[in-house]
Amino acid sequence: MKKLAAGALCLALLWLLQALLMPKYMTSTPEGAMIREYYDSAGDHNVIFTGDCEVYENFSPVTLWEEHGINAWIRGSPQQTIWQSYYLMEETLEYETPDVMVYNVFAMCYDTPESTGSQSRREAYNRITLDGMKWSFSKWKAVQASLTEEEKQWEGILTYLFPILRFHDRWAQLTKEDVTYLFHRDTVTYNGYLMQTGVKPMTEAHVTAPRADYTFGENSWYYLEKMAALCRDHGVQLVLIKSPTLYPAWWPEWESQIEDFAREQNLLYVNMLEYQQELGIDWNQDTYDTGLHLNVYGAEKASRWFGRILAEECGVPDRRGEKELSAQWEQTIQQYQRQKAEAKEETQ
Amino acid sequence: METLASILSELHPEVDFSLDHRLIEEGILDSFDIVTLVSEIDDRFGVVIPAQELTPENFASVRTLYNLIVKLKEN
Amino acid sequence: MGFTTVKFALFFLALLIVYYRLPGKGQRAVLLAGSWCFALADGWRSLLMLLTTTVTAWAAGYVMGENQSCLGGKKARAANRPWMAGWTILNLTVLVLWKLCQSETASRALAGGDMAFLTRGLPLGISFYTLQAMSYVLDVYQGKVEPEKNFLKLALFTGFFPQLVQGPISRYGQLGNQFGERRDYEKKQVSFGMQRMLWGSFKKLVIADRMAVAVTALKDPQYTGGAFFLLTLFYAVQIYADFTGGIDMALGAAQAFGVTLPENFIHPFFSKNIAEYWRRWHATLGGWMKEYVFYPVSVSAPVRRLSKAARKKWPGFGKRLPVYGATLVTWLATGLWHGVTPNFVVWGMLNCLVIVISQELTPLYRKFHSRFRWKEKGWYGGFEMVRMFLLMNLIRACDLFPNVGEYFRRLGSLFTGFSLSDFACLDQLGLTALDYGILLAGVAVMAAVSLVQVKQGSIREKLWRRPVLRLALGFGLFLTVLLMGWYGVGYEAGDFIYNQF
């Protein structure tokens, strides 16, 4: 009995240390806090988005609710790869079965972990997506898929199951933030939407160097097909989109491959780049970083337009009549409007 | 036996050698001393101690070393 | 599979559980299978070489044993000589060839060809088990040990996994029989073994691997004078923590399986002279060299003849000549064993030189000490230790420079260009003030532990009756390794660039 107690004490201490050493992503890099926010409100969403910054910056669930009564959540994270999106979907289905899953296809151009950038960069993004996930078999598989052959040693994999092994030497850099947020986090998103209020007009067109080969890789296709099958098996409608931001470039060769795939699989595919006029995006007003991402004004326009597709073409129900849900949304909206208003004051 | 003791005294004048002094255990003899001893014994007794007899047991004390020499001389 | 990897931890625990759970005689087979898997994890080459040495040593021993029982005495010896010599020459040649293949010239010559596999590092443990197997064959030849009929026992002697990484070098008489009988689970043994492994990983991960960063940086040609002094000091810390840490893990792992391997380090930095230092540092190699190189050479017929001739010419010095000759050969062999490169030969010769000089100066020292009675004073011992430590640091640094000329250039700069301002380089070596603090504290802990062990004996034994303190210290040490260990990747997500996701 005594031994058991001592063991439990040691484990508790280790757990506490891990909680202390993990980066909190509260005062800087809030992108790192997004994935874990989902779990508290999981259970009742009608639409789940997955994908990279082109989803969590370009769509605002608040607008989807206000305009169309759609209860949506965005499970996005920076440079989220397709295998990560797939396993996030798989994990989501453990918590709830939405009507529609929306996937932004831009990440199809990253075929392997190696192709997503230098090791340190890739590691930083993997952390931001994977460390926020709860322990599950899906997470385990997501980790396996995210590591390069070289990183796929026990050492590498274990650091994702026990992040203390990764952040063990962070004790020298601890700040007050790490103590304040030891047991809880503030909410940084609005149902997965990370609000950006700045305005930085697109003054010139971005140029992307042409590629030698525009064929999507085998691995990307593997996961996209898995995604389609997963949704089919769970009776969820998969909607593929290309988010409306112009840069990085979306090549016509890529477009035709996705169009073919959607046709074959009988999926709805919406390339929002083709509806710039209808969306009404003004590249002088609606971007905070010269056209790479939309700001809140752009995201609202994109959501208004896309919400109509979800409602009309996918039959996502309008739930504004539900009292409890409306009350919940009311709170989110208040906070959302406050942040928007504060930002406006600052700029004036 | 006395000759043996005198060889040892030449090697380590600071040690007072009695018959059962534990030469190896007390760290009096090191490998250099052992090799020097072997060549001295060769010189004075005409006995060649082969490498396999260079064991801590044989060099444990003046007595064991003497026994070794007697044994080798008999063969 | 290094000792400080997760793979090893899993392998070790799994093998340990099977080992003690298995009833009857299967224990040894499991241990052998585990050991061979350990070798195999390093590649086919490693397992194949281990098997070759093991099988040939067993066969040679078997044949010599048959001869001994049929012919007996001198006849058997004569019949066994070709077997002993043949085996030794064959295995030593193979070892030397492997070592030669690691040189740059060989790598370039063999690159891309069918034989390129030869250049990809030494097979795991070959330097160690070749010497072990050789001691077995020689001991059987000389009648010091009985030839082993049981292949399993001999295979465990050469291949027992804890000693494959970096020794120690055991002898058959000491280790072989430990694989004779079944061992039942003993809590104390397993616990002691694991405690020692934890302590070893502390030395390796917290101290050695951290120190290695500065040592690597200091090898840059710009660092001379005082910076070279730092290099010798840091390298002493690194190699001590690394090597003794590795040996602690090997001996600890063996102990968990109920096997006692010989101690390899007996607090070497407390040595007062070079002969003592080499009895206490890498003791099993020194012991091996003494028994199988130094003694045989010094009593061999040619050396005896030389000695007789020399005595006549120079009565005093001539007496010592055979000893010095054998010392030279021993250190040449020791140097070459470490690596077949000029710097290791020079390193061996430097050691030899210091040994001979200090031996020649012995009478002078005796006179000196009979006049000045410093030796009886307490501080003098400390002075001798520091002197020895600094001297060995200078010699040891030779390992670091494959280019011997470069080593001597740096060594010279110590006397021509030493300046305290050279120490300012400390902040350019890739370590922070905090790292130096951890290193300083780590060294203090190692020194304190050594002192307590020397003065009061085993610390683990003392803690055995105090479970609460033991748990607290053990967990504390574990946390120290976990938090301060030099492993993993540096944290970069904090300053990552937010663009093009």
The CATH number of residue A141's host domain is 3.40.50.1110
Contacts of C471 in chain A (CB under 8 A): 6, 10
C135: helix, strand or coil = helix
Question: By residue range, what is the domain housing residue A254?
Answer: 23-347
Distance from CA of B54 to the nearest CA of C (A): 7
Distance from CA of C220 to the nearest CA of B (A): 40
> Does residue A318 sit within a domain?
yes
- How much is the pLDDT for C300? 85
CB atoms within 10 A of CB B6: 13
Q: Which two tokens stand for residue A206?
A: 């971005």
- ipTM field: 0.86
Point out which residues pair with C203 in neighbouring strands: none
| Subunit contact C498:A292, Cβ cutoff 8 A | no
Q: Residue A204 and residue C181: Cα distance in Å, rounded? A: 82
Domain final residue pick, C143, C159, C185 = C185
Model pLDDT for residues A84-133, shown as the tens digit of each residue: 999 999 999 999 999 999 999 999 999 988 888 787 788 889 999 999 99
Number of structural domains, chain B? Answer: 1
Distance from CA of A7 to the nearest CA of C (A): 10
Q: Which two tokens stand for residue C480?
A: 């120290």
Model pLDDT for residues A201-241, shown as the tens digit of each residue: 988 877 888 888 999 999 999 999 999 999 999 999 999 99
> Does residue C27 sit within a domain?
yes
Contacts of B56 in chain C (CB under 8 A): none
> Does residue A11 sit within a domain?
no
Domain co-membership, C180 together with C202: no
> If we measure between CA atoms, which residue out of C232, C230, C268, C231 comes closest to residue C247?
C268
> Does residue C330 sit within a domain?
yes
| Subunit contact B38:C298, Cβ cutoff 8 A | yes
Domain co-membership, C260 together with C358: yes
A50: helix, strand or coil = strand
Distance from CA of B15 to the nearest CA of C (A): 13
The band of A348, judged by pLDDT with boundaries at 50, 70 and 90, is low
Mutate to test the interface with C, among A79, A81, A168 (most CBs of C within 10 A): A168
Domain final residue pick, C128, C160, C185 = C185
pLDDT tens digits in sequence order for chain C, 501 residues long? 788 888 899 999 999 999 999 877 788 899 999 999 999 998 899 999 999 999 999 999 999 998 888 887 788 888 899 999 999 999 999 999 998 888 777 778 777 777 777 777 889 999 999 999 999 999 999 888 999 999 999 999 999 999 998 989 999 988 988 988 888 899 999 999 999 999 999 999 999 999 999 999 999 988 988 899 999 999 999 999 999 999 999 999 999 999 999 999 999 999 988 888 999 999 999 999 999 999 989 888 888 888 888 877 877 777 778 888 889 999 999 999 998 888 999 999 999 999 999 888 888 888 888 888 777 777 888 898 999 999 999 999 998 998 899 999 999 998 888 888 888 889 889 898 999 999 999 999 999 999 999 999 899 988 998 988 999 999 999 999 999 999 876 543 334 333 333
> Does residue A92 sit within a domain?
yes
| Subunit contact C494:A28, Cβ cutoff 8 A | yes
What do you get for the CA distance between the two ends of chain B, in Å? Answer: 19
Number of structural domains, chain C? Answer: 2
Establish if A23 touches chain C: CB-CB under 8 angstroms: yes
> Does residue A65 sit within a domain?
yes
CB-based touch B/A (3+ pairs, under 8 A): no
Contacts of C271 in chain B (CB under 8 A): none
HEC secondary structure over C12-66 = HHHHHHHHHHCCCCHHHHHHHHHHHHHHHCCCHHHHHHHHHHHHHHHHHHHHHHH
Degrees to nearest 5, angle at CA A128 with A126 and A129 = 70
Domain co-membership, C177 together with C59: yes
- Answer for the pair C243, C163: CB distance below 8 angstroms, yes or no: no
B14: helix, strand or coil = coil
Query: A111-129: buried (b, 16+ CB within 10 Å) or exposed (e) per residue?
Result: bebeebeeeeebbbbbbbb
Nearest to C434 among A13, A53, A172 (CB): A172
> Does residue A320 sit within a domain?
yes
Q: Residue C175 and residue C182: Cα distance in Å, rounded? A: 15
Q: Which two tokens stand for residue C231?
A: 């290099």
| Subunit contact A29:C500, Cβ cutoff 8 A | no
> Does residue C339 sit within a domain?
yes
**Nearest Cα residue in chain B from C317:** B36
Residue C466, burial from CB neighbour count under 10 angstroms (0-12, 13-18, 19+): exposed
Domain co-membership, C131 together with C202: no
Q: Residue A2 and residue C467: Cα distance in Å, rounded? A: 11
> If we measure between CA atoms, which residue out of C160, C121, C158 comes closest to residue C42?
C121
Model pLDDT for residues C188-202, shown as the tens digit of each residue: 999 999 999 999 999
Residue C63, burial from CB neighbour count under 10 angstroms (0-12, 13-18, 19+): middle
Domain co-membership, C399 together with C376: yes
CB-based touch C/B (3+ pairs, under 8 A): yes
CB-based touch A/C (3+ pairs, under 8 A): yes
Q: Write the CB contacts of C230 (distance below 8 Å, at least 6 apart in sequence).
A: C214, C218, C223, C422, C423, C425, C426
Domain co-membership, C142 together with C196: no
Q: Which two tokens stand for residue A156?
A: 């590498």
> If we measure between CA atoms, which residue out of C85, C99, C53 comes closest to residue C337?
C99
Give B26-42 as a DSSP string. TT---HHHHHHHHHHHH
Number of structural domains, chain A? Answer: 1
Q: Residue A37 and residue C242: Cα distance in Å, rounded? A: 44
Question: By residue range, what is the domain housing residue B22?
Answer: 2-74
Give A194-256 as a DSSP string. ----------S----PPPS--PPPHHHHHHHHHHHHHHHHTT-EEEEEE-S---S---HHHHH
**Which CATH number do you get for residue B13?**
1.10.1200.10
Domain co-membership, C42 together with C74: yes
| Subunit contact C6:A154, Cβ cutoff 8 A | yes
- How much is the pLDDT for C24? 74
The band of A8, judged by pLDDT with boundaries at 50, 70 and 90, is very high
Residues in chain B: 75
- How much is the pLDDT for C367? 82
| Subunit contact B31:C359, Cβ cutoff 8 A | no
> Does residue C435 sit within a domain?
no
Question: By residue range, what is the domain housing residue C231?
Answer: 192-426
CB atoms within 10 A of CB C439: 21
Domain co-membership, C332 together with C415: yes
- Answer for the pair A310, A64: CB distance below 8 angstroms, yes or no: yes
| Subunit contact A29:C493, Cβ cutoff 8 A | yes
> Does residue A35 sit within a domain?
yes
Contacts of A167 in chain C (CB under 8 A): 491
Domain final residue pick, C121, C156, C185 = C185
- Answer for the pair A191, A62: CB distance below 8 angstroms, yes or no: yes
